[in-house]
Structures are given as C-alpha cells and as structure tokens.
Amino acid sequence: MMTPDDPESQPPPMGDNEPSSPSWLIGEVAATPAHAPDAAVEKIDRRDFLARATSVAMGASLVAVYGAFAAMAGRFLYPARPALKGWLYVADVAGFKRGASLSYTAPDGATVAIARPGEAGKVEDFIALSSTCPHLGCKVHWEGQNQRFFCPCHNGAFDPSGRAIAGPPQEAGQSLGKYPLRIDGGLLYIEVPLEGLPGPGEA
Amino acid sequence: MAWLRERIPLDGDQLREMSNEPVPNHLKRWWFALGGTPAYLFIVQIVTGILLAFYYEPSPRTAYGSVKYITDTAAYGWYFRSVHKWGATLMIAAVILHQMRVFFTGAYRKPREINWLIGMCLLACTLGAGFTGYSLVYEQLSYWGTTVGANISASVPVVGPFMKAMMLGGDTYNERTLPRLFMVHAAILPAVMLGLITVHIALIRLQGVTEFQFKDEPADKPKTFPFFPDHFYTELSVGLVLMVLLSALATILPATLGPHADPLSTPEVIKPEWFF
Ligand code: HEM
Ligand code: FES
C-alpha cells in the first residue's frame, strides 16, 4: 500500500494552491491560513504529522477489515469437521467361528474384511481390515486362490493379517488399516464413517 | 524490484500518468461517489459469490440442503451468505441512486447517451442477478418466484414462450432448471457486467465527467484534483465504510432460510423481492 508520505506516491503538483497531501483528510488544518511566519512552520509540522497519522490509521483499518475477512474466508473454506463416525452391529460372536471371515459394507460404501483368527472370543481375536491401500489409496480386493489382498494400482499385496508382502506398500513396510472393533453383550460392533459418496448402485 | 522492472517495463511515472485522471472537484460531494459504490459492491459480490459456490450444489435435491449447510454448519457461512445478500440489496439501491443523480443532473445528455444505455443494461443485469440468485436458495418463495417470473416472461408477445423455455430449460420448472439459473447467475451475468463496467469506465475517462460549478465555490479555484492519492483515498475509505456496513447488516439481520420448495403447494403469501 502506498501512503501519502511515501515519496513514490506523491502526485505532481496540479495547481498553485493544490495541497500535495490528501486535503479531505486534513481539510481543516490545510485550510487554516497561516498568520505568522513561525506559525506557518508549526502548521507544516502539524500537517505532516496529521497526514502521517491518517495514513497509519488508514493502513491499520485496511489490514484489520480485509485481514479479518480473509481469515474468515480461510476458515470457511477449510473443511468443517471430520466425517461423522459411529458404532454399528456386525455379527453375533458365537456364530462367528474361528477362521471364518466376512465382507462388511460400511454406510459410506467401503468394504471391510472382518475375520476371526483367534479362538478366545475377545476383541483381540477379531480383525477388521480396511480395503483402502496404504500406498496411495486405491481399493484392494481379496484373491481367494492366492490367499492375499491385491492392489491393482501398483501391484501391492497383503497377507490375510493385512501386512504388505509385495509392491510399494511392502517396500515402505505398510499394512492395511484396521477399524476399531468392540464386543458388547456377545455382539460384535465396528466403528465406521457414517457418510460418504454412494457407489453407482446405491444413491 | 529490478528483476520485475526488467520484465514489466513500467515505471512509477508511467503508472501515475495512467491512473492520474484529474477528478472534477464536485466529486468531493458524496452523492457523486454513488457510481463507485456499485462497482465496489460488484467486487464484494464476486468474492462472496465465489466463496458460496464452494459449497452450493445446484440441483433440486441438493440446493436447499447446501444453503442450509452454508448457513448452519460451515464456519462463517452465515456471514458470507448474509454479506452476499445485503451486497445485492445495496448494489441495486446504489445503481438506482446513481442513475437518479445522473438523470437529475442531466449528465446523460450528448455525448453521453451511450453510457446512459450501458448503465441501463447494468441495472437490468443487476436485477437479473438478484432474481436468479434468490431462485438458487430453493426455498418456497424462490421456487414460486421463479415460476411466476418465468410465466410473466412467457406473456411477452411472440418471443415470450421461447424466453420462458430458455429460462427454465424446459416447458416447466424441472431437474435442469437450477443448474441453468446457477450458470446465468454465477458466470454469464458477472462476465457480461464486467465487460459493461469496463466500457462504462473507459467512456467516462474518454469523455471526462460532466463538470459542475457550485454556487458556493470560488470561480477561480482549480476545477480538478488528482485521482491519486486524493480520490483513491476517498474510494478506499468508502470501501471500508461499506464493508463495515455490510458486516453490521449481516450480523444484525442475517439471511434466513424459509421452508423447502414444494412444487405441489403455493404458499399463501407470495411476494417478490422488494426491488421488483
Ligand atoms: C453480480 C452481482 C451479484 C448479485 C446482485 C447477486 C445476488 C444474489 C442474491 C440476491 C442471492 C440470494 C441470497 C440469499 O437469499 O441467500 C444470491 C445467491 C447466490 N449467489 Fe449471487 N449475486 C451476484 C454475483 C454472484 C457471483 C459472481 C457468484 C459466484 C461466482 C454468486 C454465487 C451465488 C450463490 C452460490 C448463491 C446461492 C447461495 C445462497 O443463497 O447463499 N453470485 N446472489
Ligand atoms: S495404491 Fe496400492 S500399491 Fe499403490
């Protein structure tokens, strides 16, 4: 922003009695005729000071008003909150035998592979694997004949426990994400996002 | 600086030359600054409109919900929506006041007839933006206002039915109506207005503003003052005052949201926006 006391921004004098600083800002002072020579010197000083003060005030208001506006716009554009999550029922623990697995579809359409590798019937014996590849986010799918999850994007592969065994995810030592599970009154629950984009079949 | 200078061959003197149109003294009177007000509000509408368009979803199934999201959920969404709405209201008022001052001071006379016509087109576009903008909210009155508006256009002889079909994208209000109104509101009208405003200002600079001598001014006083910094500072202050005014209005009287549009029942009280 240019200010009136910035030498770059001074306009060429337009006429003899044209004040070179914005006269509307300091109109009264500028218009006051100087009576004595030394009073005139003082007037110039005061005029100078007032011009400077008004530019500072102007600069401050510009920054305050448009700065606040820009900050609000930034907050407005930043996503409001993470997607809503909730606990949903999956299966009866008693009916979910060791070694069994099922494919669960969350409300946001994501497929979750849920398996029971352990015996005891505690939460730790169940596993719920995300179908989102930890590499760059493509969807993996289960390959029964190879006993692995496969990601078509860069040929990533994961064993049944979700550990990467091939491709970029293995090089990076990644695993498939896990969803939180909970057992309550003999029933298995999973915490999943409640909203998302529908697939072509839904909507 | 030197790096920039080499690539953009412009120096301070040239810039001053370009921007330093001498401004007639009468512009120090506030009612002559009414032309700058719609221009500033136009920029406010573009900025807030672009922000709203980040969340607005133009389809009958999503429009109302997205405006509700803007109003209730998005951070400061109520503020930007209300500023957009009050900006539209003040803009229409400012254009009309500007036009009245031009009319009553006779400034539309030769050689400024073309600019008067351009101004008329700008008024029409502003009203059009107000009308299409309100349709987008898809509350009861948006829907019925649009329907009634389309049927009024349809009553124009010969071209009426064509106009209505173009407006609604079909014989009646349908799935494809809102996207169409949105494009007109957010792309076509702003682009046309930007062009008209450019020509409007170019003509003012070519012809100069009609000069007036006021009785209470000494005749030998210089008739103009430099655009920069004097008038530029005035405009900056006007902008700040308008921004504060818009924010105050938005806070005290925020934009509301009526009931969702229902194509099967017309509300008891149906009135258009105040400017119609
Ligand atoms: C050029 C001058 C403009 C005027 C006079 C204007 C006027 C309006 C009005 C009166 C509304 C209804 C407000 C409400 O009741 O909530 C509205 C809504 C809307 N406008 Fe504009 N507008 C303008 C420019 C723009 C531009 C340039 C954009 C986008 C690029 C835009 C995007 C929107 C959107 C998305 C809505 C619907 C959301 C809402 O109502 O909150 N507008 N406009
Ligand atoms: S995204 Fe799955 S391997 Fe790259």
> pLDDT tier at B118 (50, 70, 90 boundaries)?
very high
Q: Write down which residue in A77, A106, A133 finishes a domain.
A: A77
Q: Which of B76, B80, B242, B245 to mutate to test the interface with A (most CBs of A within 10 A)?
A: B76
Q: Is A69 in the same domain as A142? A: no
pLDDT of residue B224: 58
Q: Is A63 in the same domain as A97? A: no
pLDDT of residue A158: 94
Residue A176 maps to a domain: yes
Per-residue model confidence as pLDDT tens digits over A34-79: 455 566 666 677 778 888 888 888 889 999 999 999 999 999 998 8
Number of domains in chain A: 2
Q: Is A159 in the same domain as A114? A: yes
Residue A173 maps to a domain: yes
C-alpha radius of gyration, chain B, whole number: 22
Q: How many residues does chain B have?
A: 276
State the closest ligand 2 atom to the C-alpha of A151, by its place in the atom list counted from 1. Answer: 2
Give B76 to chain A, closest Cα distance, Å: 6
Residue A77's closest CA among B52, B42, B186?
Answer: B52
Q: Would you tell me how many other CB atoms lie within 10 Å of the CB of residue A192?
A: 23
Q: Which ligand is nearest to the CA of B85?
A: 1
Residue A120 maps to a domain: yes
Q: Is A96 in the same domain as A64? A: no
Single pTM value for the model: 0.74
- Residue B86 or A85, more confident: B86
> pLDDT tier at B103 (50, 70, 90 boundaries)?
confident
Mean pLDDT (whole number) for B237-253: 92
- Residue A101 or B26, more confident: A101
pLDDT of residue B263: 86
Range of the domain at A113: 85-193
Q: Is A49 in the same domain as A136? A: no
State the closest ligand 2 atom to the C-alpha of A140, by its place in the atom list counted from 1. Answer: 2
CATH number at residue A101: 2.102.10.10
Inspect the interface and report whether the beta carbons of A4 and B233 lie closer than 8 Å. Answer: yes
Give the distance from CA A13 to its chain's centroid: 52
Residue A6 maps to a domain: no
Whole-angstrom distance, CA of residue B35 vs CA of residue B45 = 16
- In chain B the domains, ranked by start, together with CATH numbers, are 38-209+254-262 (1.20.810.10)
| Positions of E strands within B173-260 | 224-225
pLDDT at A22 over 50: no
Per-residue model confidence as pLDDT tens digits over B189-221: 999 999 999 998 888 777 766 555 555 555 555
Per-residue model confidence as pLDDT tens digits over A107-165: 887 889 898 888 877 888 899 999 889 999 888 888 888 889 999 999 999 998 899 99
Q: Is A92 in the same domain as A159? A: yes
Mean pLDDT (whole number) for B123-139: 95
Q: Is A94 in the same domain as A144? A: yes
Q: Is A72 in the same domain as A161? A: no
Burial B133-171 (b: 16+ CB within 10 A, else e): bbbbbbbbbbbbbbbebbeebbeeeeeeeebbeebbbee
Residue A200 maps to a domain: no
Q: Is A164 in the same domain as A137? A: yes
- Give residue B138 CA to ligand 2 midpoint distance, Å: 42
Q: Is A118 in the same domain as A44? A: no
> pLDDT tier at A29 (50, 70, 90 boundaries)?
very low
Residue A91 maps to a domain: yes
Q: Is A104 in the same domain as A171? A: yes
Q: Is A72 in the same domain as A92? A: no
Residue A135 maps to a domain: yes
Residue A5 maps to a domain: no
Residues with CB under 6 A from ligand 2: A 133, 135-136, 138, 151, 153-154, 156, 167-169
- Give residue B95 CA to ligand 1 midpoint distance, Å: 17
